[in-house]
C-alpha cells in the first residue's frame, strides 16, 4: 500500500475497506476477472479517485450510507480503463506488476474490461442517483474520445495544444473531476459546491498529467523507456508539442520522424525539447492549472475535507518538475 495517506489513518482505513468491496463485487464472476482485479488492487496505488469520492461526499447535506460502494465503483472504472489501455500500449507491467493483457492475453483483457464496465453500471444503477450513472458513463465517453484523438494525431508534428488538452482531459482530469462530483451529488450538496468540487478535480487532473509529462524531460538526458515507446509510436506530449512550435529549423521534427532511436538521438531530442522551451512552457501551464486548483478549492466552505484536498494538491502538484 502507498503511504500517501499516513497523515489520515481514518481515510486509509476507509480506502482499505473500498479495496475489499472491489474484490467482493467480482467474487461471483470468472477466475480471470477475480484474479485481474485482485492483482490490480493489491499493487498498491494511492487510490486517489475513491479518496476524492469520500472527500466530496462530506460536502453534502445528507449522510450517505453506501458511499464506500460508490468509491469502489469509481476505482473499478479506473481499473477497467487501465486494463484496456494496456492492451493498446502492449504494456508488460502496470505498477510494477504484470499487466492483465500480458498475463491473460489481449483477448481476455478486452472482455475483463468490458465485464467491469458492465458491473459498474449495474452497481451504480442499482443504488445511486441517475446523475451519478450518467456522470460516470460520460467520463468513459470522454476517455475514449481522448484516446481516439491521441491515435488520430500520431506523427502529426503540428498537433495543437488544444488536442493535447482534450487527450489529457480524458486520460486523467475527467475522472478526477467526476470522482469529487459524484460524492457530493449523492449527499445532495448544493450546486455551487458541486461546481467548485468538479473544477478542483479537473484542474488537479490537468496539472497532474502535465507534470507527469514534464518529468520525462526534466532530468538531463534521461528519457524513460515508456516515453521512448510513445515517441516511437508518434505520440507527442506537451513539452514536445511546445518545442515543435518553436522548432524553426525543423531539427526536432527530423529527429522525431525515426521509428527507432540511438542513445545519441535520444540525447539530441531531449536537448532540443529543452532548448526550444518545450519544458519551460509546459511547466508554466502546469503551474497555472495548479493555481487554478487552489482558486476553486478556496470556494469551498472551510472544513476538514477542504484541508485534506489542499494536502493532496500540495503533495501531488508542488514539487520539482
* Joined grid coordinates for residue 189: 450538496
Q: How many residues bind its own copies (CB under 8 A)?
A: 41
Could you give the CA distance from residue 232 to residue 266 in angstroms, rounded to a whole number? 11
What x-and-dash track marks residues 107-146 binding its own copies by CB under 8 A? xx-xxxxxx-xxx-xx--xx---x--xx--xxxxx-xxx-
Least Å from the CB of residue 147 to its own copies: 5
Least Å from the CB of residue 36 to its own copies: 10
Residue 94, strand partner residues: 97
Q: Does the footprint of its own copies cover residue 84 (CB under 8 A)?
A: yes
Least Å from the CB of residue 86 to its own copies: 10
Least Å from the CB of residue 84 to its own copies: 5
Which CB atom, from 137 or from 187, has the smaller least distance to its own copies? 137
Which CB atom, from 130 or from 257, has the smaller least distance to its own copies? 130
For residues 136 and 182, the answer to whether their CB atoms sit within 8 Å is yes
Could you give the CA distance from residue 85 to residue 32 in angstroms, rounded to a whole number? 17
For residues 296 and 196, the answer to whether their CB atoms sit within 8 Å is yes
Q: Which of residues 147-176 bind its own copies (CB under 8 A)?
A: 147-149, 151-152
Least Å from the CB of residue 76 to its own copies: 13
What x-and-dash track marks residues 43-82 binding its own copies by CB under 8 A? ----------------------------------------
Backbone angles phi, psi at 114, to 5 degrees: -60, -45
For residues 104 and 94, the answer to whether their CB atoms sit within 8 Å is no
| Nearest one of 135, 170, 139 to 152, comparing CA atoms | 170
Separation of CA 158 from chain center: 25
Amino acid at each position: 500500500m502507498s503511504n500517501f495517506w499516513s497523515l489520515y489513518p481514518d481515510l486509509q482505513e476507509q480506502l482499505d475497506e473500498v479495496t475489499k468491496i472491489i474484490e467482493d463485487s467480482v467474487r461471483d464472476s470468472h477466475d480471470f476477472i477475480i484474479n485481474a482485479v485482485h492483482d490490480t488492487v493489491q499493487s498498491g496505488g494511492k487510490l486517489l479517485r475513491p479518496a476524492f469520492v469520500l472527500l466530496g461526499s462530506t460536502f453534502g447535506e445528507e449522510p450517505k450510507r453506501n458511499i464506500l460502494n460508490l468509491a469502489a465503483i469509481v476505482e473499478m472504472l479506473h481499473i477497467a480503463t487501465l486494463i484496456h489501455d494496456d492492451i493498446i500500449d502492449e504494456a508488460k507491467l502496470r505498477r510494477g506488476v504484470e499487466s492483465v493483457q500480458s498475463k491473460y492475453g489481449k483477448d481476455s483483457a478486452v472482455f475483463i474490461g468490458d465485464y467491469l464496465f458492465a458491473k459498474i453500471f449495474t452497481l451504480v444503477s442499482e443504488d445511486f442517483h441517475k446523475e451519478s450513472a450518467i456522470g460516470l458513463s460520460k467520463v468513459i465517453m470522454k476517455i475514449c474520445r481522448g484516446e481516439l484523438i491521441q491515435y488520430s494525431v500520431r506523427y502529426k508534428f503540428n498537433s495543437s495544444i488544444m488536442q493535447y488538452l482534450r487527450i489529457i482531459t480524458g486520460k486523467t482530469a475527467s475522472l478526477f473531476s467526476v470522482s469529487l462530483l459524484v460524492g457530493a451529488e449523492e449527499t445532495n450538496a448544493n450546486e455551487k459546491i458541486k461546481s467548485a468540487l468538479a473544477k478542483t478535480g479537473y484542474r488537479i487532473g490537468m496539472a497532474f498529467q502535465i507534470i507527469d509529462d514534464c518529468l520525462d524531460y526534466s532530468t538531463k538526458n534521461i528519457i524513460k523507456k515508456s516515453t521512448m515507446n510513445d515517441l516511437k509510436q508518434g505520440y507527442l506530449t506537451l513539452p514536445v508539442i511546445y518545442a515543435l512550435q518553436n522548432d524553426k529549423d525543423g531539427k526536432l521534427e527530423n529527429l522525431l520522424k525515426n521509428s527507432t532511436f540511438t542513445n545519441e538521438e535520444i540525447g539530441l531530442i531531449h536537448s532540443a525539447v529543452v532548448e526550444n522551451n518545450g519544458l519551460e512552457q509546459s511547466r508554466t501551464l502546469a503551474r497555472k492549472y495548479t493555481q487554478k486548483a487552489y482558486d476553486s478549492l478556496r470556494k469551498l466552505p472551510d472544513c476538514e475535507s477542504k484541508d485534506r484536498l489542499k494536502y493532496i494538491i500540495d503533495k501531488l502538484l508542488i514539487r520539482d518538475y
